[in-house]
């Protein structure tokens, strides 16, 4: 194909891709609205609206012209950036053309209608009230996976929606290694005689907590011109490089929960805000995938926000807003106390968190593969909690109804949390190799060097590289759990003197 002809074809192709992206982002705004501010009675109309946008997005993605452009560009002499755009769009197009539009519409409408059903079931601690809806979602996602590739493990097909390049074998290997090496560490901690400090007692006003987390966002460098803070039952971040919003929630007895959740979502939003603005609408202006996205939130939440140098700099703000005039070491210990008896994933400590992920991974994999009936989920959930963490939920609200992900149909999402934690440690180590120890900068509230390093090595690339390529570009190494396990062992064996 002649150079000018290829350029003309690419420009038509890119215009189509941008429209496709804009439709998807509009649907994302509607989802944010539904989870944050929409009145309860708005669900019937919202489900129709999101269904219509999902169908339109699917039609744009499966358009015959898009397939023709992709075929023409396959043999064209494109620069690496355009080749990456073609690669990413081709992958999405080839998956989407195999899925009937009516199935996409049914999934969208069902998951939108599922949200209030789940909320009420969780509020009333009634899994049976959600079971039929969950069964319907599971069946629809099986159909979806079968349509894409009937000859492969349906769970693997769904996992690739969230992490297309590392592979399910990597997930299984990493989770097995985390389980094998973290469980003995957790056991040693439980046997330790060390009691970490807890300077918090009583309750803390929600307004005061909100002032604190807003100051934390300021402190870390959140761009309020392109973001906002709201509350949601399940904290999340969403948006684009022009509008990256965060949500949090407040526990009157545990203000560190809101602080940690907010810093976590800040990490997501900072990645989103750091994507190339001029590439908005194409994969070059989009995040790589959820493993990389989660690495950004975990890096800021754990390696920065749970560090002693962070509390050495931020302790005065905690005293100002909460009246807790505690030594930074005490705040550090409170933020890193290991609680194996904690039932709630989003409130779990840094170590036991991964056992929550293992549990969910095993259950959702068995559900999709047909090895577990929906009716069995509460019992299996409780048994695995007891096996992995030595605690058994008294209610389904504290157990299998606590997460929103299955309501969205997001089967395959959970493993990316652990993959992200592992990658966060590898990236932080690479940043310190380049910048030197970051403790002094974190102590002084100087976060620009770290944020700029992440921007240069991760954010600015968008989806130009595959996940494994991006990790090699940023760290000079293959993806490995070594850094996370060394970090976890060093930190927690020191804290608990084991």
In angstroms, the first-to-last Cα distance of the chain is 66
CA neighbor of 385 nearest in space, from 414, 432, 348: 348
Q: How far is CA 446 from the centre of its chain?
A: 26
* DSSP designation for 279: G
β-strand pairing of 229-231 with 243-248: parallel
Q: How many Å apart are CA 472 and CA 257, to the nearest integer? A: 33
Token pair, residue 18, equals 């941008």
Query: Which residues participate in catalysis according to the annotation?
Result: 265
Which value, in Å, is the radius of gyration of the alpha carbons in the chain?
Answer: 23
Q: How many Å apart are CA 104 and CA 230, to the nearest integer? A: 30
Residue 80 buriedness (CB in 10 A; 0-12 / 13-18 / 19+)? exposed
Give 6-26 as a DSSP string: HHHHHHHHHHHHHHHHHHHHH
Q: How many Å apart are CA 462 and CA 272, to the nearest integer? A: 9
Beta strands in 214-285 (DSSP E): 229-231, 237-240, 243-248
Bridge partners of residue 416, in order along the sequence: none
Token pair, residue 410, equals 């997001």
DSSP helix/strand/coil, 480: coil
């Amino acid at each position: 194909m002649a150079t000018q002809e290829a350029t003309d074809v690419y420009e038509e192709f890119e215009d189509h891709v941008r429209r496709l992206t804009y439709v998807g982002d509009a649907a994302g705004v509607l989802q944010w609205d539904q989870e944050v501010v929409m009145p309860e009675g708005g669900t019937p109309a919202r489900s129709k609206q999101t269904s219509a946008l999902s169908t339109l997005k699917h039609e744009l993605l499966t358009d015959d012209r898009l397939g023709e452009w992709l075929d023409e560009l396959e043999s064209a002499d494109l620069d690496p950036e355009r080749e990456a755009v073609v690669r990413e769009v081709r992958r999405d197009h080839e998956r989407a053309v195999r899925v009937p539009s009516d199935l996409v519409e049914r999934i969208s409408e069902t998951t939108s209608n599922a949200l209030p059903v789940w909320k009420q079931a969780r509020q009333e601690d009634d899994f049976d009230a959600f079971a039929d809806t969950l069964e319907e979602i599971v069946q629809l996602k099986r159909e979806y996976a079968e349509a894409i590739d009937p000859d492969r493990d349906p769970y693997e097909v769904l996992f690739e929606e969230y992490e297309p390049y590392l592979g399910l074998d990597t997930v299984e290997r990493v989770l097995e290694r985390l389980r094998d090496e973290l469980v003995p560490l957790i056991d040693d901690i439980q046997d330790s005689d060390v009691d970490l400090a807890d300077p918090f007692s009583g309750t803390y006003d929600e307004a005061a907590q909100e002032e604190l987390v807003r100051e934390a966002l300021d402190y870390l460098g959140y761009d309020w011109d392109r973001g906002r803070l709201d509350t949601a039952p399940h904290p999340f971040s969403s948006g684009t490089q022009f509008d990256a919003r965060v949500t949090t929630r407040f526990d009157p007895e545990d203000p560190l929960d809101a602080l940690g959740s907010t810093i976590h979502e800040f990490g997501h939003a900072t990645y989103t805000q750091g994507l190339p603005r001029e590439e908005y609408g194409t994969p070059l202006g989009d995040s790589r995938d959820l493993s990389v996205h989660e690495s950004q939130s975990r890096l800021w939440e754990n390696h920065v926000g749970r560090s002693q140098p962070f509390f050495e700099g931020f302790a005065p703000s905690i005293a100002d807003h909460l009246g807790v005039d505690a030594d930074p070491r005490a705040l550090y210990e409170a933020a890193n106390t290991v609680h194996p008896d904690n039932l709630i994933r989003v409130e779990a400590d840094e170590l036991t968190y991964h056992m929550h992920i293992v549990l969910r991974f095993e259950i959702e994999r068995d559900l999709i593969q047909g090895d577990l009936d929906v009716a069995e989920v509460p019992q299996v959930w409780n048994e695995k909690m007891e096996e992995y963490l030595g605690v058994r939920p008294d209610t389904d609200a504290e157990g299998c109804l606590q997460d929103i992900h299955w309501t969205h149909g997001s089967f395959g999402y959970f493993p990316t949390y652990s993959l992200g934690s592992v990658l966060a440690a590898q990236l932080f180590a690479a940043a310190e190799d380049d910048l030197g120890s970051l403790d002094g900068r974190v102590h002084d509230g100087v976060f620009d060097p770290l944020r700029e390093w992440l921007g240069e090595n991760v954010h600015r690339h968008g989806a130009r590289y595959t996940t494994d390529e991006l990790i090699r570009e940023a760290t000079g190494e293959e993806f490995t759990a070594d850094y996370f396990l060394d970090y976890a062992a060093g930190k927690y064996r020191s804290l608990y003197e084991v």
